[in-house]
Amino acid sequence: MKLKCIKTSVSIFTLGIFLLISTSVNAQIAIAEKAFEEAEKKGFSGVLLLAIDGKVVFEEATGFRSFEEKTPLLPTDIFEMASVSKQFTAMMVMKCAEKGLLGYEDFADKYLDIPYKGISIRQLLTHTNGLPDYQAVMDRHWDKSQVADNAAILEYLRKYQPPMLAQPGEKYEYSNTAYVFLASIVEKVTGRDFIELSREWIFNPLGMGHTDIRTLEEKAKVPNFAAGHLKDKNGDYINANKFHSSDYTVWLGNRKGPGRVSSTAQDLLIWDQALYAGTLVSKETLDLAFSAQILNDGSLSNYGFGWDLSEDPDFGKIVSHTGDNPGYKTLIMRFVDQNKTLILLNNNAHEAKDALIKGAVEALRGW
């Protein structure tokens, strides 16, 4: 009889724990749902995905793939990643390093004919290189009826030689030019096309079937490609490609390195989990990627190899990156000490995304 009472007590205790956990989970889902509903009411168009240990705990889509055609947006739709692409470029460099094809302290001018000397690959990866903005040079001098690639960008930097913005290692300053250089270095040391190699080394092995580096023509052929949208003078959302401010995505449409990856929320989750598994590079290499950079004066810059770095008292280490293209706002946040993931893809550059991200972080905090 006594034993029976013990079993009953254990059962009640177990049931109590289950109910407590279930109530907690439901509360966190409610926080995410409320944040998403508020953003939806304000006109946000996009996808939010939250995952724990690689398992999706929240995923919702709202808005339109095409506002003009009123095509509803789906969680499986493909978005332009913009600068979230940089982490993939950094991974290509890291794989080259592990293969012994380059070293992080090698100077970029060892591999590229450029007028900027003494800049290490590490400084390219971490935005501590002091390079000028290639887009400003191309905007001023390039024939915009033609589509520029990395070779054209390097040619114009040699031709016009805009001055350095800072000495290598002096300070952090975000540099798209650096990531053009990195993709070009990968091509130099491998003798391969950067896009083909990205598919071979990352996208295909991981099963990221919806992820690629696509041309404008290729994007147009993808039926579930979510177009970026901006408001016209009447306040209506139209395809961002119709705005003059978006023209650079056409005449710089063949650049490689700083952007141009397009993907889905689910594919980004596959990528996120692969970084834990060590299937792409070693843990030691990833530790380098997630480490702050020491500047010339001994201070630290909290940007690793394609990732912003931060710490939180509850979450621990966070590695993240945003993306910003005409009409698009993208974000991946990896709470690496707890294997929690936040992915947000937005295709109407809506200000409600900021409150949504805050609510999503709070939902994950209590999980």
pLDDT by residue (tens digit) across 252-285?
Answer: 999 999 999 999 999 999 999 999 998 999 999 9
**Total domains, the chain:** 1
pLDDT band at 3 (very low <50, low <70, confident <90, very high): very low
Q: How far is it, in rounded angstroms, from Cα 163 to Cα 116? A: 9
Is 83 a residue of the active site?
yes
pLDDT at 20: 43
pLDDT by residue (tens digit) across 107-133?
Answer: 999 999 999 999 999 999 999 999 999
User: What CATH number is given to the structural domain containing 196?
Assistant: 3.40.710.10
**10 burial class (0-12, 13-18, 19+ CB within 10 angstroms)?**
exposed
Q: What are phi and psi of 335, to 5 degrees?
A: -90, 85
Of the candidates 140, 349, 135, the residue with the CA atom closest to the CA atom of residue 243: 349
pLDDT by residue (tens digit) across 146-177?
Answer: 999 999 999 999 999 999 999 999 999 999 99
Catalytic residue among 24, 45, 83, 198: 83
pLDDT by residue (tens digit) across 305-361?
Answer: 999 999 999 999 999 999 999 999 999 999 999 999 999 999 999 999 999 999 999
Average pLDDT over residues 7-13: 53
pLDDT by residue (tens digit) across 206-262?
Answer: 999 999 999 989 999 999 999 999 999 999 999 999 998 889 999 999 999 999 999
pLDDT band at 367 (very low <50, low <70, confident <90, very high): confident
pLDDT at 18: 46
Which domain covers residue 170, as residue numbers? 2-365
pLDDT at 5: 42
Average pLDDT over residues 72-91: 98
DSSP state of 82: G
Of the candidates 133, 119, 121, the residue with the CA atom closest to the CA atom of residue 170: 119
